[in-house]
Amino acid sequence: MTAKKTSIEPKKTPIELLSPARDLIVGKAAIDAGADAVYIGAPLFSARQAAGNSIADIKELCRYAHIFSCRVLVALNTLLTDEERREAVSIAWQLYKAGADALIIQDLNLLGEDLPPIRLHASTQCDNRTAEDVIMRRQQGFRRAVLARELTIEEIRRIRERLGERGDMELEAFIHGALCVSYSGRCYLSEHVLGTKHSANRGSCAQLCRWQYDLLDKDKNLLTGGQYPLSLRDLDRSRSVREMLDAGITTLKIEGRLKDAAYVRNITAYYRLLLDRLFAEPDSHYCRASKGSIYLDFTPNPEKTFHRSQTDYFLHGRTPDLANWQTPKSTGEYIGEVTSVGKNCIEIQTDIALHNGDGLCFGDKGFLVNRVEGNRVYPNQMPQIKAGTQLYRNYDIEFMRQVEHSKTSRRLPVDILFQDTDCGFMLRIGDTEQEFAAEKTPADNPQKALQNIRNCLTKLGDTPFEAASITVNLSQPCFIPASMLNSWRRQVVESAMSKDLRQLRDERIKSKDRCADRVKTDDSLNPCSESVSPDSSNLMTCRYCILFETGLCRKTRKQTDIREPAYLRNGNTLLRLNFDCANCRMTITDAVT
């Protein structure tokens, strides 16, 4: 007898779309819009000091996320003093008990503490920029490294190849959002200029990179004035998702832990749709990392919420126009050119419908639209503008109303089974079931009784579930009061919603031994921010270079018009620029105020 050939479908790699959560409300909005995981700030010691959250809120977010097999990652990623480290360990245990799936940390000294048996992710603040860096993180007990934003596709691929195919070290990369001009974790400028209360490594960066500067040469001669040479455009790698996944990235991260629910909902939904289309392709090797059906009631568009124009940064090598020298603000979508300017109106050549209440901008100036008549716009206050000016819309009032009032939701399809038992009835919703003791009263109207049972048990509208099917197996149709059926349904749903959290806790207890290989460290391994000398010879290290941006790169020109050292000046603050052309890096090595 000839054996029948069977084909085994290759296992697909789960890909995680990771969204920011400023708070519980934004976290739930991200999950509803399609995030496979969210990252949220701990009560203290996160790299966004203004985005701390209570243990109770994080617990509630975990409870909601785990229904859809989504993860909650908690940022505990500032550098810490000895006293703070003890408090951070206490917080880590509270987060573990609340159901958090992983901690994102920067301070390596925490590895020597009595941490709970929970996954650790090496924050991008650890400056994970080489294969050696990431291999060291794995040896230290991390299970994921958040890669430096500056890496190219080829550099990412080489890191994955050096790590091998072992599944004990995941690679996470940013795909969208604001960019730091410095390598993350290697910027001390804010602290040096404004004091330790504004340390980037302590969660209080004052964003000096978004300041307005004059560019000066060696003799302090003005080269350009009143611009924003350090203000990078926003990251947008939506056209390179497949490349990133093929290079070894398994988590795509959206930046924005200070962003509101509208922004997070819009950007998350945009990437959810993009990824799902990619996963549906016949030759795709990837799949979603979470469960649930997403129901959107708007069309996502990344240009409609905060958007400084886009760059893929260094993903495909060094390219021009990484920064927007004209403004550090949101520019939004390009709408057209000013054709004429009247006493109280502006005429625009555009095919885009504008609305009363829209926000328009040019450079770092802007105005609100008070009235629209065809292509003629009446501002609430006339700006100083001339014909030929390019205009952008950075606030689309109609779109924002849609997103802010969106009923976007996520539902987990479940099969429902209802049948009688020796002592009463059994109700199963998904893989959660419960038996209820009750009398079996034969129904006077069997058809109506069965329909009543179906109607009551499929009323899941106020829960995260939706009925994919319902099966009623009864030896005889029974009359059961609707109030009793509704009560049973609520009990099983509540049990189902808390089941995943209990299972995850059990799994973490079993995995405790797998966390025992964390390297014990000493206090010299990763000094906290206060120990960095205010006379540090390297206040900022950038792959971004002003010489290249201005067309004066020494590798493409034999001479440069900038005599070094060059300077950036803002009021009384003078920043000294140095260009390490051999390594294609720019540094700020001094700041005088």
- What is the mean predicted confidence (pLDDT) over 35-54? 88
**DSSP letter string over 273-320?**
HHHHHHHTSTT--EEESS--EEE-SS---TTSSS---EE-TTBTB--S
pLDDT score recorded for residue 510: 53
Share of the chain above pLDDT 70, in %: 90
Beta bridge partners of 567: 216, 576
Which of these ranges, 45-49, 106-110, 294-298, has the smallest mean pLDDT? 45-49
Which of these ranges, 150-159, 223-232, 552-561, has the smallest mean pLDDT? 552-561
**DSSP letter string over 309-345?**
-EE-TTBTB--S--B-TT-SS---EEEEEEEEE-SS-
Per-residue pLDDT reduced to its tens digit, 356-404 = 999 999 999 999 999 999 999 999 999 999 999 999 999 999 999 999 9
- What is the mean predicted confidence (pLDDT) over 260-269? 98
Q: Is 420 exposed, middle or buried (0-12, 13-18, 19+ CB in 10 A)?
A: middle
* Six token digits for residue 555: 């590798």
Q: What is the three-state SS of 119-143?
A: EEEECHHHCECCHHHHHHHHHCCCC
Which of these ranges, 30-34, 57-61, 261-265, 531-535, has the smallest mean pLDDT? 531-535
Per-residue pLDDT reduced to its tens digit, 281-293 = 999 999 999 999 9
| pLDDT band (50, 70, 90) for residue 552 | confident
**Composition of the chain by helix, strand, coil, percent to 5:** 30, 30, 40
Residue 441: strand, helix, or coil: coil
User: From the centroid of its chain, how far is CA 157?
Assistant: 22
| pLDDT band (50, 70, 90) for residue 195 | confident
With residue 225 as reference, give the H or E element that holds it: strand 222-227
Q: Say whether pLDDT at 275 is over 90.
A: yes
| pLDDT band (50, 70, 90) for residue 200 | confident
Residue with tokens 């270079």: 545
Question: What does the mean pLDDT of the chain come to?
Answer: 91
Closest CA to 262 of 412, 71, 399: 399
Residue with tokens 């995943």: 500
Q: How many CB atoms lie within 10 A of CB 406?
A: 19
Better-scored residue on pLDDT, 49 or 41: 41
pLDDT score recorded for residue 73: 98
Q: Say whether pLDDT at 499 is over 80.
A: no
Tell me, what DSSP letter sits at residue 3?
P
Q: Say whether pLDDT at 524 is over 50.
A: no
Share of the chain above pLDDT 90, in %: 80
pLDDT score recorded for residue 512: 46
8 Å CB contact between 371 and 381: no
| pLDDT band (50, 70, 90) for residue 511 | low
Tell me, what DSSP letter sits at residue 187?
B
pLDDT score recorded for residue 9: 62
8 Å CB contact between 207 and 178: no
Better-scored residue on pLDDT, 51 or 315: 315
Residue 7: strand, helix, or coil: coil
Which of these ranges, 4-13, 202-211, 487-496, has the smallest mean pLDDT? 4-13
pLDDT score recorded for residue 533: 43
* Six token digits for residue 304: 């409609």
Q: Say whether pLDDT at 509 is over 70.
A: no
* Six token digits for residue 578: 């140095």
* Six token digits for residue 467: 């009925």
8 Å CB contact between 159 and 248: yes
Residue 266: strand, helix, or coil: helix
- Per DSSP, helices labelled H in 437-523 are 446-457, 482-510
- Could you give the C-alpha distances from 438 to 441, 444, 587, in angstroms and in order? 9, 18, 76
Tell me, what DSSP letter sits at residue 212?
-
Q: In sequence order, which residues have a C-beta less than 8 Å from that of residue 419 and are 6 or more positions away?
A: 425, 426, 471, 472, 473, 474
pLDDT score recorded for residue 166: 59
Q: Say whether pLDDT at 501 is over 90.
A: no
8 Å CB contact between 385 and 419: no
Considering Cα of 35, then 41, then 42, then 45, what sign does the dihedral take?
A: positive
| Type of residue at 277 | R
pLDDT score recorded for residue 506: 54
* Six token digits for residue 207: 């964003």
Q: In sequence order, which residues have a C-beta less than 8 Å from that of residue 262 and are 6 or more positions away?
A: 305, 400, 403, 404
Q: What is the three-state SS of 527-586?
A: CCHHHCCCCCCCCEEECCCHHHHCCCCCCCCCCCCCCCCEEEEECCEEEEEEEEHHHCEE
φ, ψ for residue 390, nearest 5 deg: -85, 130
pLDDT score recorded for residue 513: 40
- What is the mean predicted confidence (pLDDT) over 90-97? 96
Closest CA to 246 of 301, 315, 311, 146: 315
pLDDT score recorded for residue 1: 44
- What is the mean predicted confidence (pLDDT) over 430-438? 94
Q: How many whole angstroms separate alpha carbon 324 and alpha carbon 347?
A: 26
Per-residue pLDDT reduced to its tens digit, 318-366 = 999 999 999 999 999 999 999 999 999 999 999 999 999 999 999 999 9
Q: What is the three-state SS of 61-83?
A: HHHHHHHCCCEEEEEECCCCCHH
- Could you give the C-alpha distances from 417 to 52, 276, 460, 495, in angstroms and in order? 42, 30, 14, 16
Closest CA to 396 of 353, 445, 336: 353
Q: In sequence order, which residues have a C-beta less than 8 Å from that of residue 162 and are 6 or more positions away?
A: 131, 134, 135
- What is the mean predicted confidence (pLDDT) over 549-559? 79
8 Å CB contact between 416 and 428: yes
Q: How many whole angstroms separate alpha carbon 215 and alpha carbon 592?
A: 15
φ, ψ for residue 487, nearest 5 deg: -65, -45
